[in-house]
Amino acid sequence: MTHFEALPIIDISGLFSTDMGDRQAVADELGRAAREVGFFYIRGHGISSERIAGLRAAAESLFAHDLDWKMRNHIGLGRGHKGFVPEGEEIYGTGKPDHKEAWDIGFEAADDHPFVRAGQPLIGGNKWPEMPGFREAVSAYYADIFALGRTLFQGFALALGQDEHAFDGFVTCPPSKLRLIHYPVDPSAEDAPGIGAHTDYECFTLLLADQPGLEVLNGEGRWIDAPPVTIDGEELYVINVGDMLEVMTAGQFVATTHRVRKVREERYSFPLFFACDYATKIRPLPEFDPTGEKAAQYPDITIGDHMWSMALQTYRYLRAKVAAGELALPENARATNTFGQFKTLAEADQA
């Protein structure tokens, strides 16, 4: 982890080339940024401005509804952990409720899908609000951004010295969540977290936001701004390494700690959390842990159980079910602040 002052920008258009040399060149840049920063911008991603505009319009219309209307689709109603997330539902590292509301969309799975029939948490159909055009706009965006995630995952495979299709089979019906997040206007929120310090639980995240507020922790324990960037009319995505890529590389790729602060204006944020299938077991690749010594730092757990355990420790309605004995943490579940640089953050806070 370097003492970076800004996030690198990577043109990933080479990942769509038919020439392996072009794809490998981009992969090398991805690997460098993942090792040194854990966060970076991408351009040349191919997501159209029209698709992004459709998503934004859908989100603005959705969150304009009153709270009672939105609460009829609360994330805790039904199965699948999808739907509306009211302000204060999530609690991250600070122990304080987050100042935001969200709507969570997942990879669509029918009731007769084997993963649904097996009772895997986080897998199933979505809650679609009764709004003309909402499902069409959001589903189309999900399809595009998920396809981009697949391409990036192939780039990460090359960056890790693997065949570029080495991980394809792990992604058939994953708990990959798209969040539509709305931060209401609050001029007094400068010193209040929009989202407290955390790492992302999955393999990596593809983020689009329309206002500043995202901050990334560097190697010196200082928070670095990561504002929205547009180049030649193209909005750049922010990509960050998640917990599972940290495990695969035995810590060489860092799940960089980040937060959202200084939300002075209304802000919309759209992260897709790219994950492998629920039952996929993630372990350090032999190339990064030839003796097996580092494997002990990462207890044997599936990617889905890791994500579910984080949700059980973060969402109020799930925490209440755990406290009541209705739900239990999966075996080998970790605490929510054991990846990334939480030790660095604690040392910085004491300085």
pLDDT range class, residue 192, cuts 50, 70, 90: low
pLDDT range class, residue 286, cuts 50, 70, 90: confident
> What pLDDT, on a 0 to 100 scale, did the predictor assign at position 201?
86
Q: Where are the domains of the chain?
A: 9-350
CA angle 86, 89, 94 (to 5 degrees): 130
Q: Would you say residue 220 has pLDDT above 90?
A: no
pLDDT single digits (tens) 25-36:
999 999 999 999
Percent of residues, the chain, with pLDDT higher than 90: 69
> What pLDDT, on a 0 to 100 scale, did the predictor assign at position 271?
97
pLDDT single digits (tens) 132-188:
999 999 999 999 999 999 999 999 999 999 999 999 999 999 999 999 999 887 666
| Average pLDDT for the chain | 90
Mean pLDDT along residues 39-66 = 98
The two tokens of residue 35 are 């090792």
Mean pLDDT along residues 330-344 = 71
> What pLDDT, on a 0 to 100 scale, did the predictor assign at position 343?
52
Tell me the residue type at 213: G
**Whole-angstrom Cα distance, residue 256 to residue 139?**
29
CB-based contact 132:235 (threshold 8 Å): no
- Nearest 5°: phi and psi at 107? -65, 125
**Whole-angstrom Cα distance, residue 239 to residue 283?**
22
**Whole-angstrom Cα distance, residue 47 to residue 326?**
42
**Whole-angstrom Cα distance, residue 69 to residue 86?**
12
The strand pair at 234-235 and 204-209 is best described as unpaired
Q: Of 171 and 90, which is predicted with more confidence?
A: 171
E strands in 144-266: 177-183, 195-198, 204-209, 214-217, 223-225, 230-231, 234-235, 237-241, 258-260
The strand pair at 9-11 and 39-43 is best described as parallel
Q: Would you say residue 313 has pLDDT above 50?
A: yes
pLDDT range class, residue 45, cuts 50, 70, 90: very high
> What pLDDT, on a 0 to 100 scale, did the predictor assign at position 297?
80
> What pLDDT, on a 0 to 100 scale, did the predictor assign at position 290?
86
Residues 6+ apart with CB under 8 A from 134: 58, 61, 62, 128
What residues form DSSP beta bridges with 209? Answer: 269
pLDDT single digits (tens) 11-24:
999 999 999 999 99
> What pLDDT, on a 0 to 100 scale, did the predictor assign at position 351?
43
Fold of domain 9-350 = Jelly Rolls (2.60.120)
CA distance readout (Å), 232 to 53, 182, 222, 268, 337: 17, 26, 30, 22, 38
Q: Would you say residue 345 has pLDDT above 70?
A: no
> What pLDDT, on a 0 to 100 scale, did the predictor assign at position 92?
65
Mean pLDDT along residues 273-287 = 91
Q: Would you say residue 339 has pLDDT above 90?
A: no
Q: Would you say residue 226 has pLDDT above 60?
A: yes
Q: Would you say residue 321 has pLDDT above 70?
A: yes
What residues form DSSP beta bridges with 341? Answer: none
> What pLDDT, on a 0 to 100 scale, did the predictor assign at position 62?
98
Q: Would you say residue 292 has pLDDT above 60?
A: yes
Mean pLDDT along residues 86-92 = 87
CB-based contact 72:87 (threshold 8 Å): no
Return the residue matching tokens 């089979």: 169
Percent of residues, the chain, with pLDDT higher than 70: 90
The two tokens of residue 95 are 């122990």
Q: Would you say residue 1 has pLDDT above 80?
A: no
CB-based contact 235:208 (threshold 8 Å): yes
**Whole-angstrom Cα distance, residue 225 to residue 234?**
20
